[in-house]
Amino acid sequence: MVKRVSNKFNCTTQKKAQMKIQQMVFMILGVFIFFILVGLFVLNVQLRGIRGTAEELREAETINSLKVITTMTELSCPSSSYFCLDGNKLEVMAKRRDYADLWPIASLEVYKIYPSFSSVVSCPGVDCNYYKVFDNGQNQTQKVSTYVSLCYQRMKDFQQYEECEIAKVLVGVKNSKN
């Protein structure tokens, strides 16, 4: 009889022990899932910050590319004025597509804004006021602009002089939000 009591005792003790083990497993699993969720939340917050930083860097790069493009030797005035484009060089660059792979941007356009005009006339042409220097065909671009002097080298009475107008340079960059 003693043997039977001990078997019943062992059986109930084993069942209680199994229940305790199952409870412990579920508890560990719950804590593990909780920490995974907390980790995902923290990761999401950090990624949001990284995306914001990437956007700020992209905007700074765009503004810097405006400065670089307006001071490029290929486009700048020979008098080395700051933010001055040489109209003669611009005409040549607008006609040629050989440099398409060198541009770190999506598009480059130049509008003459003073003296004012009523309609856009593409250059080269008579009384033109718009240069499309480069466009790689991207649809979703963000355009950033700055104002520059647009100067032409002219000859009158065998003397060379510089004739300047005010222009707006539009640089298109890939829109990172799309």
CA-based nearest residue to 99, from 136, 149, 49, 70: 136
* Tokens coding 163: 């004739």
Q: Which is higher by pLDDT, 58 or 45?
A: 45
Q: Rounded distance, CA 145 to CA 171, Å?
A: 6
Entry pTM: 0.63
Average pLDDT of the chain to the nearest whole number: 82
Residue 90's contacts (CB-CB under 8 Å, 6 or more residues apart) are 75, 110, 123, 131, 133, 150
* Structural domain containing residue 33: 1-178
Question: In the prediction, which pLDDT does 177 show?
Answer: 56
**What would the pLDDT profile of 55-69 be if each residue is shown by its tens digit?**
788 778 878 878 888
Question: In the prediction, which pLDDT does 2 show?
Answer: 46
In what side-by-side order are the strands of the sheet with 107-114?
A: 84-86, 141-156, 159-174, 107-114, 130-135
Q: How many domains does the chain have?
A: 1
Q: Rounded distance, CA 77 to CA 67, Å?
A: 14
**What would the pLDDT profile of 74-125 be if each residue is shown by its tens digit?**
788 877 667 888 888 888 888 877 776 777 788 888 998 887 778 888 877 7
Whether residue 37 is predicted with pLDDT greater than 90 in this model: the reply is yes
